[in-house]
């Protein structure tokens, strides 16, 4: 058991730029289950909930309060294809804070750093309208996060360098 650490490697107001960087990072990884991708958003009122679920009728809704009137509600969607994830994320980012998370990845070994292949903690995330992985605070920017084993700062920096990016802030405690 354990949690990831998540290193921000880009903050940009251009969602297309964030998604393009994510696709480059995905090309560095290998998949052991390519359908391991999902989106999460938070509806804070009836209007946001209606707009999110109308945009993607297959989305599931989880309520945090006692009943179906207690907000926020978490809206989730499984997405099997990278391009589909980008389209869905663009739609939801126009409505509220949300993120896409690719998991079931394997980060490559980096022998020069003494790092073996990593699959348990290998994830990639784009958080829309937020600087944190849980999308708790609104921001005008979208943040790309590399998730890896705690203490593997060198792996995060190495992965970012493979796509001409760099770590732009301290890691945060992940999932």
d(CA 76, CA 98): 10
Looking at residue 1, its pLDDT comes to 53
Q: Which of 35, 40, 24 is nearest to 159 (CA)?
A: 24
Looking at residue 175, its pLDDT comes to 86
- Quickly state the pLDDT bin for 34 (edges 50, 70, 90): low
At 71-84, the pLDDT tens digits run 889 999 998 777 88
At 138-169, the pLDDT tens digits run 999 999 999 999 999 999 999 999 999 999 99
CA distances from 37 to 63, 79, 88, 91, 169 (A): 21, 5, 12, 16, 24
Give Cβ neighbours of residue 2 (< 8 Å, ≥ 6 apart). Answer: 120, 121, 149, 150
For the chain, what percentages of helix, strand and coil (3-state, to nearest 5) are there? Answer: 30, 30, 40
Q: Considering the entire predicted model, what is its pTM?
A: 0.95
In the chain, what are the domain boundaries?
A: 5-41+74-173
Q: Which of 168, 175, 174, 155 is nearest to 8 (CA)?
A: 168
């Amino acid at each position: 058991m354990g949690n990831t650490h998540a290193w921000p490697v880009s903050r940009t107001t251009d969602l297309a730029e964030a998604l393009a960087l994510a696709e480059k990072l995905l090309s560095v990884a290998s998949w052991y289950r390519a359908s391991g991708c999902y989106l999460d958003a938070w509806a804070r009122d009836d209007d946001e909930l209606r707009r999110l679920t109308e945009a993607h009728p297959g989305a599931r809704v989880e309520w945090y309060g006692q009943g179906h009137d207690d907000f926020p509600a978490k809206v989730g969607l499984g997405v099997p294809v990278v391009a589909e994830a980008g389209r869905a994320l663009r739609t939801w980012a126009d409505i509220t804070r949300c993120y896409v998370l690719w998991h079931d990845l394997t980060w490559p070994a980096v022998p020069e750093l003494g790092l073996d292949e990593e699959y348990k903690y290998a994830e990639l995330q784009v958080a829309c309208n937020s600087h944190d992985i849980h999308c708790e605070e609104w921001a005008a920017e979208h943040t790309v996060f590399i998730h890896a084993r705690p203490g593997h700062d060198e792996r995060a920096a190495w992965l970012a360098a493979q796509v001409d990016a760099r770590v732009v802030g301290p890691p945060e405690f992940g999932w």
